[in-house]
Amino acid sequence: MGNASKALASQGCGIPWVCDILLKVVLYGALKWFIAPEMPFLNRMAVCFGVVMAALALVTLIKPMAKPVVLPTTDLIALESSKAAKIWGIVVVVCTLALYAIFW
């Protein structure tokens, strides 16, 4: 288990995680096989996402955390982007936009 997972688990975040995992599995299966088998995959995922977010908001309203989660930080890694990474990122975005313009 990573440091962030340990920090979250040690601070009592188990209820939303369990709610999220169980609800996603049950809802996705119900949508796929019973409620709307003809619904496209991405639409089904969007419905699942919306329902899970609403359920997690409800859990937060009913039982908010006693104290906010404090994630561990480190200064051992430099997280600045290089000039080459920025340039290639722009190239990828421009290529993606060009492909959308051509094939839309």
Round to whole Å and give the CA distance between 74 and 72: 7
Give the residue extent of every domain in the chain.
3-74
Is 59 in contact with 19 (CB distance < 8 Å)?
yes
How confident is the model over 33-58, as pLDDT tens digits? 999 999 999 999 999 999 999 988 88
For residue 4, the model assigns a pLDDT of: 53
Of all residues in the chain, what percent carry a pLDDT higher than 90? Answer: 48
pTM > 0.85: yes or no: no
Mean per-residue pLDDT, 8-13: 52
Give me the helices (H) in 1-104, please: 3-10, 14-30, 41-62, 83-103
pLDDT at residue 19 greater than cutoff 90: no
Question: Quick check: helix, strand or coil at residue 74?
Answer: coil
